[in-house]
Amino acid sequence: RVVAPGAVHVPGWLDLDRQRELVAACREWARGPVPMRAARLPSGHRMSVRTVCLGWHWYPYAYSRTADDAGGARVAPFPDRLGELGRAALAAAYGPAEAADYHPDAALINFYDEHARMGMHRDEDELSRAPVVSLSIGDTCVFRFGNPESRGHPHTDVQLCSGDLFVFGGPSRLAYHGVPAVRPGTADPACGLRSGRLNITLRVTGLAP
Ligand code: MD3
Ligand code: FE
Write down the ipTM of this complex.
Answer: 0.96
Strand partners, 54: 107
CA distance 120 to 169: 18
- Looking at ligand 1, which residue's alpha carbon is closest to its atom 1? 168
Question: What averages of pLDDT result for each successive group of 10 residues across the chain (209 residues)?
Answer: 97 98 98 96 96 97 93 96 98 97 98 98 98 98 97 96 98 98 98 98 97
CA distance 64 to 69: 11
CA distance 10 to 141: 15
pLDDT at 70: 84
- Looking at ligand 1, which residue's alpha carbon is closest to its atom 4? 134
Q: Which ligand is nearest to the CA of 6?
A: 1
The CA-based diameter of the chain, rounded to the nearest angstrom, is: 44
pLDDT at 69: 83
Secondary structure (DSSP) of 86-97: HHHHHHHHH-HH
CA distance 178 to 157: 10
What structural domains does the chain harbor?
A: 2-203 (2.60.120.590)
pLDDT at 108: 98
pLDDT at 181: 98
- Looking at ligand 1, which residue's alpha carbon is closest to its atom 16? 134
Compute the distance from residue 209 Cα to the ligand 2 centre, in Å: 23
pLDDT at 136: 98
Sheet of 7-10, strands arranged across: 2-4, 7-10, 165-168, 132-138, 197-203, 106-112, 50-54
pLDDT at 82: 98
Q: How far is CA 48 from the centre of its chain?
A: 15
Q: Using the CB atoms, write b or e for 165-200: b if 16+ within 10 Å.
A: bbbbbbebbebbbbbebbeeeebeeebbbeebbbbb
If we measure between CA atoms, which residue out of 48, 39, 21 comes closest to residue 135?
21
50 lines ligand 1 (CB under 6 A): no
